[in-house]
Amino acid sequence: MINVTKTFLPPFEEYVNTLKRAWDLAWITNNGILVQELEQKLKSYLGTDNLLFTANGTVVLQMALKALNITKEVITTPFSYVATTNAILWEGATPVFVDIDPNTFCIDPQKIEAAITQNTQAILATHVYGIPCDIEKIQTIAERFGLKVIYDAAHAFGCSINGKSLLSFGDISTCSFHATKVFHSVEGGCIVSDSEEMNTQLSLLRSFGHIGDEHYCAGINGKNSEFHAAMGLVNLNYITQIISERKNLSQLYDSFLTSENLLRPTIPVNMEYNYAYYPVVVETEDVLHKIVDNLRAKGVSPRRYFYPSLNEIPQTKYLNSICPVSETTSRRVLSLPLYAGLEIHEAEMIAGTIKKVLRG
């Protein structure tokens, strides 16, 4: 079975040897040595000062909204993983969906202003597939209307624009280190903010809101363990190799599929990309189903990332939002298998199967 992704696993010995350092201290969670070391290494890899390692890439969205006191309306993208929307709802705020740009599949900055009301407090946008949002335009709008900006950068680990990590923009950026992502710590994530003060606040929110007997706020448990940090530390040794393998496979798909009538999001030239996903948009949902059936018959399981459009799921139906670009894209988009370890002949077979369907 070839799935859309396959978790990268480092040599077992290397993981165990790293973990042993915490094991020998009998200190396996609560900001242990491996968590601290991972945070240092991530800061240096990403070039960001204020970064915290966390339990996952969802709690960080909740922590971001909490730290910025967001309780009313949040302008957000309908084309993302459902966690982006759920975090807003979970915090008791209201998502306001703004349609996506047909070239980048990220929130369309031209449409943001029309969605701003007296209750708008923030913009929560996703760098979908690791492709950057229009950061400059979003910043300009945010400054003009006094809004906070949060980026869900769950797909953007290792991506940079003009040499700057995609995790270093907005008031707060978050990332996921889930086992299905480009870089992982089994479960995990991080939150990056633009000041030491905010970092301290987020650090409190991550650990129940208290330090010793001093209580400051209603925090949550967003921290992570030495077992997870050990996996992150070891995987960081392989990240260059992982991204380069993904790049080669993406280019292989490119070369096999360029002649076909497939829409792909545009990767800007001034960015360093991480090849997190290989999405293709076909002409109709019918064609998509045909491709899926034919791939399944060959033991290949692509995924409909991201479907359905988040303005069309039960928990947001009450908003009656209409986002035509996101809706039509989500119905026709398929993410092809892409991971370190996917064989060249497998990518060839997948592309060949798609070609055959497209050419009837």
Ligand X SMILES: *Cc1c(COP(=O)(O)O)cnc(C)c1O
Closest to ligand X by CB, 150 vs 257, is: 150
Closest to ligand X by CB, 61 vs 280, is: 61
What is the C-alpha separation between 4 and 27, in angstroms, rounded?
Answer: 36
User: Minimum distance from CB of 255 to ligand X (Å)?
Assistant: 27
User: Minimum distance from CB of 253 to ligand X (Å)?
Assistant: 20
Closest to ligand X by CB, 125 vs 354, is: 125
Closest to ligand X by CB, 166 vs 354, is: 166
Determine contact, residues 166/132, Cβ cutoff 8 Å: yes
Closest to ligand X by CB, 155 vs 303, is: 155
Verify cis geometry, omega within 30 degrees of 0, for the bond prior to 10. Answer: no
Please count the CA atoms within 13 angstroms of the CA of 161 that sit on its side-chain side: 16
Closest to ligand X by CB, 83 vs 231, is: 83
What DSSP letter does each residue of 127-144 carry, written as one string? -GGGPPP-HHHHHHHHHH
What DSSP letter does each residue of 24-37 carry, written as one string? HHT--SSS-HHHHH
User: Minimum distance from CB of 133 to ligand X (Å)?
Assistant: 12
Find the residue with minimal CB distance to ligand X: 57
User: Minimum distance from CB of 189 to ligand X (Å)?
Assistant: 5
Going from the C-alpha of 336 to that of each of 125, 135, 275, 350, the distances in angstroms are: 24, 27, 12, 8
What is the C-alpha separation between 23 and 227, in angstroms, rounded?
Answer: 9
User: Minimum distance from CB of 256 to ligand X (Å)?
Assistant: 26
Query: How many residues comprise the chain?
Result: 360
Both ends of the chain: CA-CA distance in Å? 25
Give the residues across from 271 on adjacent strands. Answer: 161
What is the C-alpha separation between 14 and 103, in angstroms, rounded?
Answer: 42
Return the exposure string of 66-97: e unless at least 16 CB atoms fall within 10 Å of the residue's CB, then b: bbbebeebbbbbbbbbebbbbbbeebebbbbb
Closest to ligand X by CB, 77 vs 354, is: 77
Q: What are phi and psi of 233, to 5 degrees?
A: -60, -45
Closest to ligand X by CB, 80 vs 94, is: 80
User: Minimum distance from CB of 322 to ligand X (Å)?
Assistant: 22
**Residues that bind ligand X in the complex, under the rule CB under 6 A:** 56-58, 80-81, 83-84, 126, 152, 154-155, 176, 178, 189
User: Minimum distance from CB of 332 to ligand X (Å)?
Assistant: 19
What is the C-alpha separation between 46 and 48, in angstroms, rounded?
Answer: 6
User: Minimum distance from CB of 84 to ligand X (Å)?
Assistant: 5
What is the C-alpha separation between 127 and 327, in angstroms, rounded?
Answer: 18
Closest to ligand X by CB, 99 vs 152, is: 152
User: Minimum distance from CB of 179 to ligand X (Å)?
Assistant: 9
